[in-house]
Structure 1
């Protein structure tokens, strides 16, 4: 079992890079945003609750995130390698994930951070809203709320993993292929120390 967290603000290119990492390294993805959108599309038991938080640009309650993540991990063979995308986002989520993986005789092996400035993120999100018609990308106030939450809560996990020597930062403003190459260089170092 080999586990990586892919971190970056909304619009940093996490989705694109996650797809490439899944194909190359055969990760099973744990993409919280996609799981939440799937719950809404399938009229899951928590659809209304999820919609309420997402429509405000806020993070869903931890208990719901934990339930979705543990369900996915426990449904896979013990030697499965996971790519966590959009989870964990807060220190309580980090603590939960560390403890949960420890129970599975596993750990986080590396954290890849896509670093992109707010001005570039805003342009990318506006473009994505036009192309994909995602409601959480169409409203400036929702976008700003998401960025504020990201800065207030998510950046604290970077310091946590930095102190463990697991954080690898990449300039996410480069071309998609250049970012992929940087990620692959990091992955090659982690897989073959």
Structure 2
């Protein structure tokens, strides 16, 4: 099974590329952000707890993230490759993911990092706030908090996956089609 991780800062295009990868390669997608938003929409038990962290632009604590993630992994159709959209975001999450995948006799095949300049990210998030109405994209302070968390907690895992020779960088400022072609280029070399 060829599982992949799609990394990048908020607004880098992870969601768009994840949709295309699912369409083109039949991945089972796990997006923790999407899982959290669904829990909020469906008024689940942890709604208020999750909402508080998202509204402040912060990461939901690992214990809840891990429990929800493992639940989704267990429900993945057997033998179907998984695309992790925006997870892991911290070293503890990366280590947890490796250990959990080992438990299910699978592993990560590659990690794709969408590189995008800060100014471009701000512009994209503002546009997304208007189009999708996402609260976490509408406030400058929340955006800065999310970017700070990304720089402090997520960038170290880039080195972690680079040292394992799993990391592939893609220029996320290119058009959607060009980014997709760059990702497909990596896939062709790996498969």
Q: What SS does the aligned partner of 2:6 have?
A: strand
Q: TM-score, normalised by structure 2?
A: 0.98
Aligned length: 191
CA RMSD of aligned residues (A): 0.7
Q: What SS does the aligned partner of 1:109 have?
A: strand
Matched, 1:38 2:54: no
Give the 5 Å matches for 1:98-109. 98-109=98-109
- The offset of 1:45, in angstroms, is 1.0
Matched, 1:186 2:179: no
Mapped partners of 2:168, 2:86: distance in 1: 16
Give the structure 2 partner of residue 11 of structure 1: 11
In structure 1, the gaps of 5 or more residues are none
Q: TM-score, normalised by structure 1?
A: 0.97
Q: What SS does the aligned partner of 1:106 have?
A: coil
- The offset of 1:76, in angstroms, is 2.1
Mapped partners of 2:77, 2:134: distance in 1: 33
Give the structure 1 partner of residue 123 of structure 2: 123
Q: What SS does the aligned partner of 1:114 have?
A: strand
- The offset of 1:26, in angstroms, is 0.4
Question: Where in structure 1 do 4 or more consecutive aligned residues deviate above 6 Å?
Answer: none
Q: What SS does the aligned partner of 1:143 have?
A: helix
Q: What SS does the aligned partner of 1:6 have?
A: strand
Moved more, 169-178 or 69-78: 69-78
- The offset of 1:185, in angstroms, is 0.7
Q: What SS does the aligned partner of 2:180 have?
A: helix
Give the 5 Å matches for 1:1-193. 1-191=1-191
- The offset of 1:188, in angstroms, is 1.4
Deviations 1:134-164 (A, max 9, x none): 0000000000000000000000110000000
Mapped partners of 2:37, 2:71: distance in 1: 16
